[in-house]
Amino acid sequence: MASERTPTARRRIDFATLLGLVVAAGGIIGGLVLEGGRLTDIAQYTAALIVGAGTAGAVMVTTPSALIGAALRRLKDVVWEASATRGALIAQLLQFARQARRSGIVSLEEQAGAIEGNPFLKKALMLAVDGTDLQDLRRIMELEIEAASRRGEAEAKVFETAGGYAPTIGIIGAVLGLIQVMKHLEDIERVGHGIAVAFVATVYGVALANLVLLPAGAKIKARVELVVEDMELILEGVIGIAEGMNPQLLETKLGAFLDEPEAAVNSDNPRAAARSTENVPLPQQGPS
């Protein structure tokens, strides 16, 4: 029998993230201009240095270096998203279920070994093919799901922590600026200009936290939740295959994991929908 390979996941740009940044920055800068301000009013490299370096330093003090590295690698999940649908994953599992019903679960050994881009599916299916007790299989894979969830939460927490420090560092920058202003109280015009410049650091700190760091942490958490749901779907599918569940019944069971719009489309003709998604790339599972 020819080896059947699971397609490797492709990723696409998450335009919602990019559009959100553009809208937020455009709104803030546009409001500044409408109020009679200029872009140069907030273009202060010293304030950016204080906020950026101060926030990075605070995170380095509170967070293990390995976790910081993992969190930085996660940044790609903020801008990129998997292009595959959950329907494609269900279709792949149903394909395995039909073959297992025809030829026995041992016949899936070659396909399981050839799976690429989805180590969780590969491991679960190999355990099932090897005849692992279903309770043991479930416990093993649930431990992996829990570990992946904890890692994702910890990586998102790095950005949330940075988002908590940035506004405070911005206040420190503003105070440092005011200290310099107080040295020149004899020149009231210079004092007014200096106060305006001093508060730029506060703007940088609040903007960095609320436009970049906290949203990045929230987006990573959302991505992790989707990955965990896919892993739970795979586990239920593989358990069903190992139990010899009827593919139609398994399809109904796994349909609970579909989003409402996707479920509505597939419910019109579930078999055709499954066939149409068999060659769609599957999302990668587990930590990146």
Evaluate whether residue 285 is within a structural domain. Answer: no
Burial class (CB in 10 A: 0-12, 13-18, 19+), 35: exposed
Q: CA-CA distance, 103 to 4, in Å (whole number)? A: 15
Q: Of the candidates 92, 84, 121, 90, which has an alpha carbon nearest to the alpha carbon of residue 263?
A: 90
Q: Is residue 29 included in any domain, yes or no?
A: no
Which residue has 């926030």 as its token pair? 55
- Residues in contact with 86: Cβ distance below 8 Å, sequence separation at least 6, in sequence order: 229, 230, 233, 257, 258, 259, 262
Residue 37 inside a domain? The answer is: no
pLDDT score of 234: 95
Dig out the tokens for 246 from the structure.
């009827």
Residue 210, in any domain of the structure: yes
Backbone angles phi, psi at 285, to 5 degrees: -115, 160
pLDDT along the chain (288 residues), means of 10: 42 86 90 84 86 95 95 91 82 93 90 88 93 94 96 96 96 88 75 77 94 95 93 95 92 86 48 43 45
In-domain check, residue 71: yes
Residue 130 lies in a domain: yes
Domain that holds residue 132: 48-276
d(CA 115, CA 95): 13
How many folded domains does the chain comprise? 1
- Residue 59 is assigned to a structural domain of this protein: yes
pLDDT at 61: 96
Residue 265 burial (CB count, 10 A)? 16
Alpha-carbon distances of 267 from 241, 262, 277, rounded to whole Å: 22, 8, 14
Give the bridge partners for 108, in sequence order: none
Q: What is the pLDDT of residue 10?
A: 66
Q: Does residue 30 lie in a domain region? A: no
Q: Is the pTM of this model over 0.85?
A: no
3 state SS of 280: coil
